Amino acid sequence: MSTGLTTRCLFKNAWYLSSTGFKQGYVFIYGTRIRDTGEGEPEPEYELSELVYDFNGDAVIAHGYSLLVDIVEYVVRGIRGFDLSVFTREELRKLAKAGVVNAYMSGVTLPVASTSHPEVVVDIARENSLRLGIIAERGTVSGNPFTVLLEQDGEYIYYEDKKISHYSSAICKPSEIRDNCVLVDARGYGNTTTAIEEVYMATGDPSLSFKLLTNLYRATGIDNGFVEKDSASDLIIYDLKNPLKSMPLINGDHSYKLLARSQQPDIVFIGGDVFYEHGENLAIPVVKINEILKKKTGGEQVGYQARTKL
């Protein structure tokens, strides 16, 4: 996904979520990090960026989420007892790309996989220069610059030999959210945004929900999970010119309400690159996988049998 170039991008006249709440102003990113933010007008030199978005006050920018999601298993989410061992590694890579794209399009800029095929996740991360998370037993997966490797050793989870949390308290389901949750488990959900919405509903506090949904960034030390100077340029943007998302933006509370609605973002930036913009996936090509599924599962025959039973 990475272009290999250091891209400068300016977002202006937008609401952005800092650690002290929503502010109205600008966000300037330079490559993989946010270089500057501020209220009011940006520095004139920022206007010379390769990408300039002027939202005229009709947008909300927030840091992207991090959740435990289906990646390799995305296409069979919610289906019990499905044996993925019948697929080749290359076929699993194709299936997993759909899972990665779904996560990013849903605003999950640091998706974490728990899978019996971690090598597939490593392949995709390396191939596309993406940061992907993996949670696995200690010593079973080799780390690399593109994976955030969370290792379970006994009752605890570690990241780069730093103890993160007790496993049983670190991971929680959206409907059973806790204040000490580090990673929300959204596996099995037909729609990832549904899991995000459940978190907002479960706490009744949008600011707390957002913090829980970005906690892994803080726990690993990647950044503080807000739109601030030196944070990772992993951003989700809601464009209120979209009539399906339009709402009055008068203060920060209104912006939190927009996040709590948990609709799909209009623009997603990951590591300083545009990944998704207004319905178009710009980074990872996703091939048609229906024929792969048919070949491996005998889908045509199953479909025929189902019709005859009716």
The CATH number linked to 258 is 2.30.40.10
How many C-beta neighbours within 10 Å does residue 71 have?
28
- Cβ 92 vs Cβ 85: under 8 Å: no
Confidence band for 113, pLDDT divided at 50, 70 and 90: very high
Claim to verify: residue 15 and residue 39 sit in the same structural domain:
yes
Strands 51-54 and 59-63: unpaired
Confidence band for 250, pLDDT divided at 50, 70 and 90: confident
Claim to verify: residue 176 and residue 236 sit in the same structural domain:
no
What's the average model confidence in pLDDT over 260-275?
92
Claim to verify: residue 75 and residue 202 sit in the same structural domain:
yes
Claim to verify: residue 59 and residue 73 sit in the same structural domain:
no
Could you identify the residue written with the tokens 């730093």?
Answer: 162
The share of the chain scoring above pLDDT 90, in percent, equals 71
**What would the two tokens of residue 310 be?**
């009716």
Q: Which residues contact 180 (CB under 8 A, 6 or more apart)?
A: 165, 169, 170
Confidence band for 280, pLDDT divided at 50, 70 and 90: confident
Q: What is the pLDDT of residues 48-85, one digit of tens each?
A: 999 999 999 999 999 999 999 999 999 988 888 788 88
The verdict on residue 145 lying in a domain is yes
**pLDDT at residue number 218:** 97
**pLDDT at residue number 306:** 38
Claim to verify: residue 103 and residue 150 sit in the same structural domain:
yes
**pLDDT at residue number 299:** 53
Range of the domain at 230: 8-64+225-278
The verdict on residue 300 lying in a domain is no
Question: Strand runs (DSSP E) across the chain, as ranges?
Answer: 8-18, 21-30, 33-39, 51-54, 59-63, 67-68, 112-113, 132-137, 147-153, 156-159, 162-166, 171-172, 183-185, 235-239, 267-270, 273-277, 280-281
Q: What is the pLDDT of residues 87-96, one digit of tens each?
A: 999 999 999 9
Claim to verify: residue 45 and residue 139 sit in the same structural domain:
no
The SS3 assignment for 236 reads: strand
Residue 47 has pLDDT above 60, yes or no: yes
Residue 14 has pLDDT above 60, yes or no: yes
Domain closes at, from 197, 219, 241? 219
Claim to verify: residue 122 and residue 252 sit in the same structural domain:
no
Chain mean pLDDT for the chain: 90
- Cβ 43 vs Cβ 36: under 8 Å: yes
Specify the amino acid at residue 250. I
**pLDDT at residue number 82:** 81
Residue 17 has pLDDT above 60, yes or no: yes
Claim to verify: residue 83 and residue 215 sit in the same structural domain:
yes
The verdict on residue 158 lying in a domain is yes
Claim to verify: residue 79 and residue 170 sit in the same structural domain:
yes
**pLDDT at residue number 212:** 97
What's the average model confidence in pLDDT over 168-184?
93
The verdict on residue 26 lying in a domain is yes
Claim to verify: residue 74 and residue 179 sit in the same structural domain:
yes
Domain closes at, from 219, 251, 268? 219
The verdict on residue 249 lying in a domain is yes
What's the average model confidence in pLDDT over 113-140?
93
The share of the chain scoring above pLDDT 70, in percent, equals 94
As a whole number of angstroms, the distance between CA 101 and CA 90 comes to: 17
The number of folded domains in the chain is 2
Could you identify the residue written with the tokens 């996989």?
Answer: 113
